[in-house]
């Protein structure tokens, strides 16, 4: 499934068939019975989204929060229950995250 956001379409890594939770600046999907957990996770992610949006104002975070039951998890890219990222744009997201962590850290000199 493609989701239009910020003038471009992007593929949701997993969970496109799950219920959608609106009210967040990113995609939030959840399995039947997981609305409360999805809301809590989305609230935490939203705080981080706002923080990093201010810290790195030149780019917009591109995230999705998927709270899936084991039966809804495709298991293709990651074992069930583990957080993961899907680098669908083909960029080296891990290197970018490491750079962001180094440059934003108050312990830069160490």
The pair of structure tokens assigned to 5 is 């956001």
- The pTM of this model reads 0.64
pLDDT tens-digit readout, 18-66: 999 999 999 999 999 999 999 999 999 999 999 988 888 888 777 889 9
Tokens of 96: 């970018």
CA distance 43 to 72: 22
pLDDT in tens, 82-93: 666 655 555 555
Dmax (CA) of the chain = 47
**DSSP-based three-state secondary structure for 101:** helix
């Amino acid at each position: 499934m493609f989701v239009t956001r910020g003038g471009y379409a992007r593929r949701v890594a997993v969970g496109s068939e799950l219920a959608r939770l609106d009210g967040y600046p990113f995609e939030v999907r959840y399995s039947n019975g997981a609305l409360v957990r999805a809301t809590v996770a989305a609230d935490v992610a939203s705080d981080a989204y706002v923080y990093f949006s201010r810290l790195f104002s030149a780019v917009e975070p591109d995230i999705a929060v998927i709270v899936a039951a084991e039966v809804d998890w495709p298991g293709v890219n990651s074992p069930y229950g583990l957080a993961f990222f899907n680098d669908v744009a083909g960029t080296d997201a891990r290197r970018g995250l490491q750079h962001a962590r180094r440059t934003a850290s108050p312990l830069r000199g160490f």
